Structure 1
């Protein structure tokens, strides 16, 4: 498949030009539509719609954006446990038809217990991963089974389950997941299609790809990989590093994830964050331009790994990950709307052309 470029849409205009997280805040319908159209115009293939225990409901946000775009797909974050899996299967299949096959799913189980409890779920995280695995198994069975069926597991039980609607995309919409714990990796290897990771040094990225491919193969499955990264680009490398320092200086106030900030400590809250934070403590810059300064300053709050340089340099760095086996890239900046447009002008054409050249060489 061609390289896939993923962005992220928020629900209200950013409050500053150094936004870290954009999934919370009051909803502004016109902004959602404009932001989605900006992604489409920039050449993005897909846009993530995030999830928190206080944010606007993602499926409705994505449907609103889909009605105002023509080509852009939507990667909707979803937490198993609040909706029955058979109902969720019908919900996704319905969305898939209404948008002409423009939906994918990103499965998450909650960054922290405290954040999950905001939606009334007090299940321990390890158990949430086991529940999610069973949930996805039942979702996919609902998508593919034509006759009513029964199911009894540790978390769900149905009798005579069936669905009149099946996904437009076959065999089903892409299911992505992230995480670094044993529970997350085993769930993903058994049931998901794409492993989403944060940008980290190329050597350890290659190790993660090989290890997860082997884990998925043990389940008789092949998988893809997505990498989340924050490009910081400028006409010269020196200007790009100056820009990076200005962005870092703007990270002193509220960062946009209320529950983590309410705890008063900027420290990693999940295994994926702790992994990123360890790289940041090791050194600020890896592999020439993988910059971890914001990761260290924010306690690895979400996607904070940056690639810093000219558009050509950053595109080459991204293509180095493509050569390792990363097939899609979630790229967003710290000035969300302006960076979306700039990446569409300066980065996305270079990445897509470079990936096509790599594919031709391989063929």
Structure 2
């Protein structure tokens, strides 16, 4: 798929921690399956309740030939010099690049536990400064002196040097104006949790141009098959709904507030857009559910709008990797065929 569409980025999400003795192989197996299906990379989460994302990224690199770890980077966890050193070291050891998912937010309780009371918009200002310092260190132009509001360094060198072709791509949440502004300043790809067009007005898809979406897909030969799978994987749960509402109250993220307010079928009965898994606290993104034809049409709208990055939810079964990649393969083949049709005078 990468050869067919060099500008398309398709990421899976690394499974969350499971049994300690098995988790390393779980990560490696997921990475190998994603690479075999043609994915670009794999998102690695980072928060107070999961494992160190850099250790996971190392396993992704060791298990694959070219899959790109998309590491969630939250400034409150470590100094930008430590991050630059990790990135440069992975580049030196593996000759591979990673990508960075720049994260400003977290559960308010997680930030409070770390003694961080920085307001929402100021966290994005700090994140911008943080990413700039990491970038200057990786640029390899010699010792770095940086004077910022949140970070200051004096004549700081970075060893090993980072080859220019391994410099990381940047991604950032584009759900709030503060996030979009930070993305523009850093040249980062803005990623959104998309809404159906009826919820955002006629220009809903246009907001995605040049950016990305975080979403899940369950597509089958028939509507019935797809929905049977969806409800088996994500059964409605009163306890889950309560947990989701509690999470909503514990977050100041704009995307959490927006999705929490959505109905289960905000696009209407004929839309494949489903909020069930989010509402039951089973995952953190919307899903597209339905027949191959219906799901393909919805994904095609994202592509037509100029969306070129898709960060998929964690696969629940091994077959999900190939099934998801097949959606994009079908659409890309159709576009290629349409582009090569002769023009009739």
Instruction: After TM superposition, give the deviation of residue 207 of structure 1 in Å.
Output: 4.0
Q: Structure 1 residues 309, 8: CA separation in 2 closer, same or farther (over 3 Å shift)?
A: same
RMSD across aligned C-alpha pairs, in angstroms? 3.3
Structure 2 matches for 1:266-277, cutoff 5 A? 267=248, 269=251, 270-277=253-260
TM-superposition CA deviations, 1:290-331 (whole Å, max 9, x none): 222333444x9621x111112343233212101101001112
Q: Structure 1 residues 194, 353: CA separation in 2 closer, same or farther (over 3 Å shift)?
A: same
Could you tell me which residue of structure 2 aligns to residue 218 of structure 1?
A: none
Instruction: Give the Cα–Cα distance (whole angstroms) in 2 for the partners of residues 176 and 359 of structure 1.
Output: 30
Could you tell me which residue of structure 2 aligns to residue 332 of structure 1?
A: 313
Q: Secondary structure at the match of 1:326?
A: coil
Could you tell me which residue of structure 1 aligns to residue 215 of structure 2?
A: 229
Q: Structure 1 residues 48, 242: CA separation in 2 closer, same or farther (over 3 Å shift)?
A: same
TM-score normalized by the length of structure 1: 0.79
Structure 2 matches for 1:167-186, cutoff 5 A? 167-170=162-165, 172-186=167-181
Whether 1:321 and 2:302 are equivalent positions in the alignment is yes
Q: Which runs of 5+ in 2 are unaligned?
A: 1-5
8 A contact 1:90–1:166 mirrored in 2: no
Could you tell me which residue of structure 2 aligns to residue 265 of structure 1?
A: 246
Q: Structure 1 residues 278, 352: CA separation in 2 closer, same or farther (over 3 Å shift)?
A: same
Whether 1:201 and 2:196 are equivalent positions in the alignment is yes
Q: Secondary structure at the match of 1:105?
A: strand
Instruction: After TM superposition, give the deviation of residue 212 of structure 1 in Å.
Output: 8.2
Could you tell me which residue of structure 1 aligns to residue 266 of structure 2?
A: 283
Greater RCO (CA < 8 Å, at least 6 residues apart): 1
**How many residue pairs align between the two structures?**
333
Could you tell me which residue of structure 2 aligns to residue 6 of structure 1?
A: 11
TM-superposition CA deviations, 1:96-122 (whole Å, max 9, x none): 343333310101123222122344534
8 A contact 2:208–2:306 mirrored in 1: no
TM-superposition CA deviations, 1:41-82 (whole Å, max 9, x none): 222111111111121101111111211111211111110133
Q: Secondary structure at the match of 2:246?
A: coil
Instruction: After TM superposition, give the deviation of residue 253 of structure 1 in Å.
Output: 5.5
Q: Structure 1 residues 271, 26: CA separation in 2 closer, same or farther (over 3 Å shift)?
A: farther
Could you tell me which residue of structure 2 aligns to residue 217 of structure 1?
A: none
Structure 2 matches for 1:93-172, cutoff 5 A? 93-170=88-165, 172=167
- Aligned match for 2:84, one of 89, 103, 107: 89
Q: Which runs of 5+ in 1 are unaligned?
A: 15-24, 214-223
Structure 2 matches for 1:52-67, cutoff 5 A? 52-67=47-62
Whether 1:353 and 2:336 are equivalent positions in the alignment is no
8 A contact 2:196–2:204 mirrored in 1: no
Could you tell me which residue of structure 2 aligns to residue 18 of structure 1?
A: none
Instruction: Give the Cα–Cα distance (whole angstroms) in 2 for the partners of residues 349 and 282 of structure 1.
Output: 27
Whether 1:302 and 2:288 are equivalent positions in the alignment is no
Whether 1:249 and 2:231 are equivalent positions in the alignment is no
TM-score normalized by the length of structure 2: 0.83
8 A contact 2:191–2:213 mirrored in 1: yes
Instruction: After TM superposition, give the deviation of residue 155 of structure 1 in Å.
Output: 0.8
Deviates more, 1:199-208 or 1:232-241: 199-208
8 A contact 1:291–1:308 mirrored in 2: yes
